[in-house]
Chains A and B, each alone.
Chain A
């Protein structure tokens, strides 16, 4: 009890300490994003989804990152044009690790950087004519492409291009679905609006153009696994469990998805939503318009996996419920062996999280399965509903930081000295220099999958290798000890 009180007092003091350094106006604004969680409260007590302050080194990205990088980019049989100058597509080329099967450049276009590479004349005279030509050339060099999306970069919305008109015209001409996405980087406050815009584009340019009157042989067990971006193969190590419990996965997305699979969402009996933040919009739309329910699940760590498989099975008949139990039973030995092997090396270790999407809450259970404790967490681009959902995961006294600045995170870690920082590549090397073990929790640090039972074993191995690496014992020269 006193330890919790101590942590609470320390965390509150820490927040005051970092705020003191800001200019007054900025301190006032940042104060609303930092808090210490109080048990029993309905949310985490922070404001979110608000503009980042200029000059503070936010870790956030932009709407383009949310659309091209997250939602649209992984749809593998479409060509996604980074429409505008060369940079955005270059920096996001193959860096997110959304795995797919296919022949790149032939029937799959994931690990590629396809751009209209705007020059000064395109800014001055507009880029619509160029886009027109880009589409023609795509059909010539990529004859197996099943569609084209236009991922707008900042200038598009500023110079008044009409990518919707070009898309409508060209779609007819080349007889391919075209999807204009208004995800210019200056829109909104983070990646998050890009997700929303990308979802709306699925609604307007995929669903509304698909023919759902066409006959489709459905079964009572049809599901679409969505908002899993297949980082390191996550969607595959999730899908294996769904199929084992008797469900038919008629679509998967957007990781390793085809356009056809995206079109399947309204056909499903249940939408399984992994990343609530990035695709709840389209799930809600499908529920409202097509009457398909959705369910937010969590496949990190055996506790949450079992909970989620039961939660999914509850939508179906007894056969599925029984099979779900069989699946849980089948993997119990594996999970127990993983826990037996790694828990003794990880129990009691403290973790600070700072990630996006769903991970600031969803991975908490996996750490706890290994006896670890999350002592701080926050979202890059979360909304109020994320912070409400987080209350089911975090303990009293947890430090909460929304849209944390590099300065704050560094100060927090300096004082808290967690045994593990789990965040992104921009943070990784900072904390390792400080002697704090680190795992990238966006890309799984080039490992993964972390979802499902197969993924949990990898997760446990990776956390162990990060924390218990001999390198951390060498950070101080022996003659200085």
Chain B
């Protein structure tokens, strides 16, 4: 008997015991499988160039994409405003999925409601759901704002959010002056980052439309982080750096508190977030910095139309990225970059110098969201590492141009190829036929690590199978240091494992 009360074996150990191995063998007799030899033959074949060619001919079938759908992004964006309840108009299952997706990444509660449209709404439209839904949500959860986005069901039947919200107000579901920013977020267009952008624009429109801008004399700017799995730590790091610079920065959409509340006996459904007053004042700021510009294109365009300067960065990670960010802020505000930040910069450069020999020439594959890939690739290039496969399922034309330009500008980018619109099953073929030393991406990359053996460095979204990574920034010089250490730890762990039976198992590396 494998189990005992003294030493309880769970799934990780229990099923390796002979009793269970025998069961698995007996079960095979009923499974009608192809046999181990055939499975091995096909498994080997899937790692060949021949298979890669078949795999890359796919036009309709998508296997393990690295992207999610629009309303997920809308929910993250909405979560970053004070007292705001994300509300998704359409089928209820979607909201259950969005909430659990963020639960698993942040290990935190995620509050959002659906208006639970079903067959009758499919026929008659979801107006009644909106009228009742806003009233119920307002009564139960007492939000300051409700931010409405849509599932694909509501989009396919063509529900009109603007009209529906107005009617709901007329019917008394919520007070006339209650603010309801909204965005149509069809899941069959773009990805989660598109939905984030749409919702962000919905907030900007709600607060700024029809208002007259008068630029402040104060060194005040807005910063938006975009769809960022590291928002908790990144936003705090941004605020800290801005304080060092004497810049009054409003983070537009700041979920850093709501996704990092304490365990002290009280559940806070709402915590922190950009306030309505901040949003009103934000119009008069000197400009808005979009940390992930490709994923905030519509919002940036809106900000410029409102008469503000928009600075679009691409998830700046590392020395030059952070330099560019701080210089942009300095240019917007006229505030100099203080010695304290320059000191941090020097420390990051120091760390890179200490470790560069272990990084130089190491070959990397990366997958993730467009802006993050630009930021991480730029960092790898400044480390002297060589990005080889850069795969972006939710790429835009702008991304492809930018990543190619970035690679062309560095001798370390010569080996690299960008793969827009491809999925992780494509990446599997790439890793099998053109091997690299390390893979950077979300937890979904763990299947690639298992299949191909390429060690995975977890940077991206979602991170489901490691805890608390999102509590450490990847932006700023401090963030650069975190990313550097993450990469180095994997390099050294891999080297130790590789040399454990040889003289090269060094104490000092």
Contact = CB atoms under 8 A, between A and B. Distances in A.
Contact of A458 (B10, B113, B130): B10
Given A56-B113, A91-B98, A457-B5, 7 more contacts: A58-B116, A105-B46, A146-B32, A256-B27, A264-B30, A428-B103, A476-B265
A53 interface: yes
Contact of A65 (B3, B46, B70, B93): B93
A53 B128 CA distance: 11
A405 B140 contact: yes
Interface in A171-199: 185-189, 191
Nearest to A59: B96
A101 B117 CA distance: 38
A251 interface: yes
B140 A57 contact: yes
Contacts of A52: 92, 116
B328 interface: no
Contact of B103 (A137, A153, A252, A426): A426
A378 interface: no
A475 B115 CA distance: 35
Contact of A158 (B51, B153, B265, B425): B153
A186 B118 contact: yes
Nearest to B104: A425
B72 A87 contact: yes
Interface string B252-267: 0000000001111111
Contact of B135 (A23, A143, A258): A23
Interface residues of B, number: 111
Contacts of B65: 86, 90, 113, 115, 117
Interface in A42-88: 51-65, 77, 84-88
Nearest to A57: B113
A236 interface: yes
Nearest to B142: A21
B96 A84 contact: no
A435 B265 contact: yes
Q: Which one of A21, A112, A426, A458 has the greatest number of beta carbons of chain B within 10 Å? A: A426
Contacts of A475: 263-265
Interface in A402-460: 405-407, 410, 424-426, 428-435, 447-449, 453-454, 457-458, 460
Q: Which one of B4, B10, B43 has the greatest number of beta carbons of chain A within 10 Å? A: B10
9 contacts: A56-B113, A61-B96, A90-B67, A137-B61, A158-B157, A240-B23, A260-B32, A334-B3, A475-B264
B186 interface: yes
B5 A341 contact: yes
A95 B54 CA distance: 29
Contacts of A84: 152, 188
B498 interface: no
B11 A448 contact: yes
Contacts of B91: 62, 154, 185-186
Nearest to A124: B188
Interface in A111-167: 111-120, 122-123, 130-131, 133-134, 137-138, 140-141, 143-144, 146, 153-155, 157-159
A123 B63 contact: no
Contacts of B132: 25-26, 53-55
B111 A447 contact: no
A104 B451 CA distance: 9
A61 B119 CA distance: 15
Nearest to B5: A337
Contact of B3 (A103, A406, A453): A453
A76 B1 CA distance: 28
A87 B97 contact: yes
A17 interface: no
B31 interface: yes
Interface of A: 21-23, 25-26, 51-65, 77, 84-88, 90-93, 95, 99, 101-107, 111-120, 122-123, 130-131, 133-134, 137-138, 140-141, 143-144, 146, 153-155, 157-159, 185-189, 191, 232-233, 236-237, 239-240, 243, 249-252, 256, 258-261, 264, 330-331, 334, 337-338, 340-341, 405-407, 410, 424-426, 428-435, 447-449, 453-454, 457-458, 460-461, 471, 475-477
B27 A240 contact: no
Contacts of A115: 62, 65
A337 B4 contact: yes
A425 B30 contact: no
Given A60-B96, A430-B109, A137 B263 contact: no
Contacts of A434: 265-267
A113 B60 CA distance: 14
Contacts of B447: 104-105, 111-112
Given A57-B141, A62-B94, A158 B122 contact: yes
Interface string B427-462: 010000000000000001001000100000000000
Interface string B102-144: 0110011111111111110110000001101111111111000
A167 to B, nearest CB: 15
Interface stretch (B12-20, B221-229, B313-321): B12-20
Contacts of B93: 60-65, 88, 185, 191
Given A114-B62, A407-B141, A447-B10, A56 B266 contact: no
B151 interface: yes
Given A22-B136, A56-B136, A91-B98, A186 B119 contact: yes
A313 B113 CA distance: 47
Interface of B: 1-6, 8-11, 14-15, 19-20, 23-24, 26-27, 30-34, 38-39, 42-43, 46, 51, 54-55, 57-65, 67-72, 87, 90-94, 96-101, 103-104, 107-119, 121-122, 129-130, 132-141, 151-153, 156-157, 186-189, 191, 261-268, 425, 428, 444, 447, 451, 464
B19 A410 contact: no
Given A101-B24, A144-B39, A91 B153 contact: no
B69 A54 contact: no
Contact of B31 (A111, A117, A261, A424): A261
The 3 closest A-B pairs by CB, nearest first: A62-B93, A87-B69, A54-B133
Given A122-B188, A141-B425, A429-B109, A258 B152 contact: no
B268 to A, nearest CB: 7
A407 B108 CA distance: 17
Contacts of B60: 116, 130-131, 133-134, 137
Nearest to B72: A87
B63 A23 contact: no
Contacts of B264: 433, 435, 475-477
B109 A107 contact: no
A191 B91 CA distance: 12
B189 A119 contact: yes
Contacts of A251: 30
A153 B93 CA distance: 11
B109 A155 contact: no
Contacts of A114: 61-64
Given A22-B140, A103-B43, A240-B23, A140 B54 contact: yes
Contacts of B8: 457-458, 460-461
A411 B434 CA distance: 56
B69 A85 contact: yes
A55 B67 contact: no
B157 A410 contact: no
B120 to A, nearest CB: 9
Contacts of B32: 77, 146, 258-261
A269 B326 CA distance: 73
Contacts of B67: 86, 90
B227 to A, nearest CB: 14
B152 A153 contact: yes
B371 to A, nearest CB: 19
Q: Which one of A113, A186, A188, A475 has the greatest number of beta carbons of chain B within 10 Å? A: A186
A375 to B, nearest CB: 20
B109 A123 contact: no
Contacts of B425: 105, 141
Q: Which one of A92, A107, A341 has the greatest number of beta carbons of chain B within 10 Å? A: A107
